[in-house]
Each structure stands twice: as C-alpha cells, then as structure tokens.
Amino acid sequence: MTPQGTALLHDNALNESTAFTSGERDQFGLTGLLPTAVETLDNQVKRCLMQLTKKPNLLEQYIYLNQLADENQTLFFKLLSTDPERFLPIVYDPVVGAACLEFGHIYRRPNGIYLSIEQRGKIREVLSHWPVKDVRFICVSSGGRILGLGDIGANGMGIPVGKMQLYTACAAVPPDGLLPLLLDSGTDNESLLADPLYLGLRRKRASAKDLDTFVDEFVDAVMELYSRCCIHFEDWKGTDAVRLLEKYKDKVCCYNDDIQGTGSVVLAALYNALKISKGKLKDQRILMFGAGSAGVGISDMIVSAAKLEGVSIEAARDQISLFDVKGLIEPSRTNLEAGQTHYAHKHAPTTSLLDAIDSIKPTVLIGTSTVGKTFTKEVVEAMTKLNQRPVIFALSNPTEHAECTAEEAYTWSEGKAVYAAGVQFPPVKLGNKTYLPTQANNVYIFPAVCLAVYTTASKRVPDELFIEAAKALADQVSTHQLDQGLLLPLQKDILKIEIETAITVAKKVFELGLARIDKPADIAKLVNASLYKPEYTHSKE
C-alpha cells in the first residue's frame, strides 16, 4: 500500500516530489504539500545541477548528493547517470575519503545498519530491524583500513554507503536489496576516541579472536535471515581481510573487493598493457611494491589467471616478488603473513627498491604501498632501461599517496611507460603526443560481478568470475584507445560497459554450475530484465 501525505514524501524510494501529477496529489493526500508546478524528472535534474554549482567545494557537493539520495532515490540515480565521469569521484573515491574523515561532523541521518561488538548474542535481532526482508547484498566494513586513511572506526560507514550507490549507478543493480553495514569493534585511532562528535564505540579495537567470534555470529545471522545474500567485505585491516576471506569464501556467497576486485581490475589493465608491450602473462616478471591485502590479492589473481592459461601455481608464483616497508620479501624474513609466504623467493635481502629492480629485472612494477612519490625518477629510469615498454602501475590513493604521477611516469620514461594509477590523472602532452592515463578503479569490476551474481543467484563468488570480468573489461578497449595509452574504457560509458561485462560473467556462473536458477535460453535478456531504471513509477511525464 502506497504511503500517504508526508509519509510518502519522506520515503526516498517512492518520493517523486514536484513530479507528482495533480491527480496523484489528490490520490495520495499531497495537495497543498507541494508547490503548484508539476515537473518532469529531467527538469528536476536541471535544478539539482544548478544547485550543485552553488556549492563551494566537492565535500559540500558530496553532502548535497547524499542528502538527495536520502530524499529522492530516483532523482539521485538519474542525476548520476547524466555524467558518471563527473559524479562517481564525488560520491566515491576520492571525495569519499575526505567525507569519511569528517563523517561524525557532517552526519545527517542514519544509512544502513550499525552492529556493535557489544551486541553479540543478539546480532540476528538487530539485523532484523532492517525493513527490507529480501536483502541481496551487504557491503560490510570494520573501518579498519579505509582507502589510504588507516583506522577510522565508525567513520568508515561512508564506504559501504558509497559502494552500494555504485552498484546501482554503474551496473543498475536494484537498490532496494542493498544494505550498507558497519561492524564496530572499536578503534585504535586516539584522535577519534577524543572527538566528542565521534559516532562509534569508544574503546580500543577488539582482539582478532573476539573479532572473529563477532564476524561468525554476523555471517550466521545473514545466512539465516537472507538466504540469497552476498556479503561484500570492504576496507578491513589487511590481516583481517585475508583471513576472513579465506575462512568464508568456500562456505558462503561472499567476496572481498580490496582483494578480488582490485586484483581483477589490475589484471584487466595488465591484459591490455601486454597488448602494447607485446608480452605474454606467463613470461612477465612482476615486482609488487606493497605486500598488504591489495598487493597479495593482485598477486593471487594473476596466479589464478596464469593457472587458467596452463601455468602451474608454483611457476606463476615464482614470477612475482613482493616488497614492503621492511624490504624485499624473501625466506630470511620473519613474521610473514600466510599470503606473503608464497612469494618469499630465494634472494639476497635488500631494503632498496632500486637494488631489487636491478636484481629481479621486472617487466611490471605495481605499487600498492600507499606511500607517495616512491617511484622516483631513478626507479622509472631503471624500469625503462630494462624494458622497451615498462609497465608501471602506481595504484595507491588518494592522489597524494600515488607512487608516481602520470606526468612523472611518461616524462621520466620518455613516453615509453605503459601506465595506470589508482586515481584519475589528467592527459599528459609529451612532444607531439597526448597520453590518456588509466585509472585502475575497482568500480569497473565489482558492480558488474554483483549484477551477474544478482541475476543468477550465484552460490559463490570465486576468482574465476573476477578473471572473466577482467577479460570482458579489457576487450572493450579499442585499438585506438590503446595507442593513446588507455588500458580501460572511459567512465562516461560505465553503465554500458558493466552490463556487457555482467552478461559475460553470468555465463561463467552457469558454466561453473553456481547458479541457483535454471539457465535461460538468452542470458543477456535475463541480465537486462533485472536492471534498475531511474524512472518514476507513478508520474506520467
């Protein structure tokens, strides 16, 4: 039954505001509650665009857009669809990073579910308070490692909210089945604990043992309440992220975007980089500068992809070396994490990246360190001396954390570098050529994979789905774009790109026998039939 009067205007999924017709205003008790004019959705979008120009900075635009999402979901997604290249960086990275730092200060209204470790024993009851009973995706963060910002506790809720918005904005996943969620087990961030406006649990983070008990109860409750739900782990501390994914990936429908999503988008960029450098995946020597969950996740994804091409796991791992804050990972290193030990190859210890490059002679250098300016001129020149077309991915974000900028990579390599970054850099003009830097952004991958999971009701989300997504994404880059240095498609076409990718991934779901529905004659038709469209259901425009 449709709500009446102000209750309808306060329902963001049903509210059409000034687009309600005169007849609908009489029908739903809205007459007098709205200005007289009856507008189209397109006219409402024009007003929003005008209002955005009045905002003094990007953070204020972020606040405006999220308030719009709270008030009128259809208008919010329609607005985003008019210019994805403009709006995606505002509702998510990089502006979401600034928003998370200010989360307790700019808070307007609750979004999603907050679960406190002090609620153990009644997690199912708390989850059941969410009004939607067919939740299909939960994006859950512990706030333990948000972007390159570290532990920001409950302020990290901005990430699940933003990720859920990207599901719909980029891949048209219906928003009513999406639930942002924060698991609050405290924070070790002293400045937050001292902030009177901090909204999270005021205590130090729980031990790994207590956290695991908390997560166990959460996962059990999700599976009991929402039988077809997929759990998206997002921005957990590296050790927690790797451990929890390993624990649950073969038991429930879940994935970790920082590990698998990052690995997939980097693999897509690497596939196209190799088209430029004329190399084969099995022949690459890869040096990973950063050995946390992202670095290990990318490495594992490359190994999985090489295995599908007939390379043994051992041989694939032998081609990848990891370098972290303590230097090159090799057998003499102690206290290595489980995921890192696979890449501890026999090698002389070194804390010098230049020495490691000189010894290993990598064809590919990938940065996930979150330490800016570490790919120095000497590093880029060393890679260029070793390779005719050195592949250099500086993936850390926000911008100030990038290992090197696009301009630096192209300039120091004299235009030879095949470059990608974790943030979007502007075009670089060098001599008579203009290079288009690639942003290796997970936004190209996880919404498409989730649309495939949604439409097929997949039981699991294995690496094979992310590898298939990487191939489908890479194939959508033209030869002309590759000539300009672009390794991934342009974000202005994001919806078309993701739907095409999702169709390919959905086919793989059926091929692997993971679908919980019968295989249709036309998988593309199945995917397209499930798409959310930002259109009003009541108004006759």
Which residues carry out catalysis? 92, 163
Using CA atoms, how far apart are residues 541 and 538, in angstroms rounded to an integer?
A: 9
What contacts 440, CB < 8 A, 6 or more positions away? 265, 266, 268, 269, 393, 395, 420, 421, 422, 487, 488
Residue 219 CA: distances (Å) to CA of 134, 212, 254: 16, 10, 10
Using CA atoms, how far apart are residues 464 and 203, in angstroms rounded to an integer?
A: 40
HEC string of 413-476 equals CCCCCEEEECCCCCCEEECCEEECCEECCHHHCHHHHHHHHHHHCCCCCCHHHHHHHHHHHHCC
Residue 507 CA to chain centroid, in angstroms? 22
Q: Residues 413, 419, 423, CA angle at the centre, nearest 5°?
A: 125
Within 10 Å of residue 331's Cβ, how many Cβ atoms? 12
* Closest listed residue to residue 17, CA positions, set 4, 30, 26: 30
Long-range contacts of 515-518 (CB under 8 A, 24+ apart): 515/456, 515/457, 515/458, 515/459, 516/228, 516/456, 516/457, 516/458, 516/459, 517/456, 517/457
Using CA atoms, how far apart are residues 264 and 465, in angstroms rounded to an integer?
A: 9
Residue 54 CA: distances (Å) to CA of 64, 76, 168: 11, 17, 26
- One-letter amino acid at 419 equals Y
Count how many residues are written for the chain. Answer: 541
State both tokens at 242: 């790797």
Using CA atoms, how far apart are residues 239 and 474, in angstroms rounded to an integer?
A: 30
The answer to whether 255 and 264 are in contact (CB under 8 A) is no
Pairing label, strands 254-256, 230-233: parallel
The answer to whether 422 and 402 are in contact (CB under 8 A) is yes
CA atoms within 13 A of residue 436's CA, in its CB half-sphere: 13
Within 10 Å of residue 51's Cβ, how many Cβ atoms? 12
* Closest listed residue to residue 159, CA positions, set 143, 178, 136: 143
Within 10 Å of residue 515's Cβ, how many Cβ atoms? 20
Its sign, for the CA torsion 161, 162, 165, 171, is negative
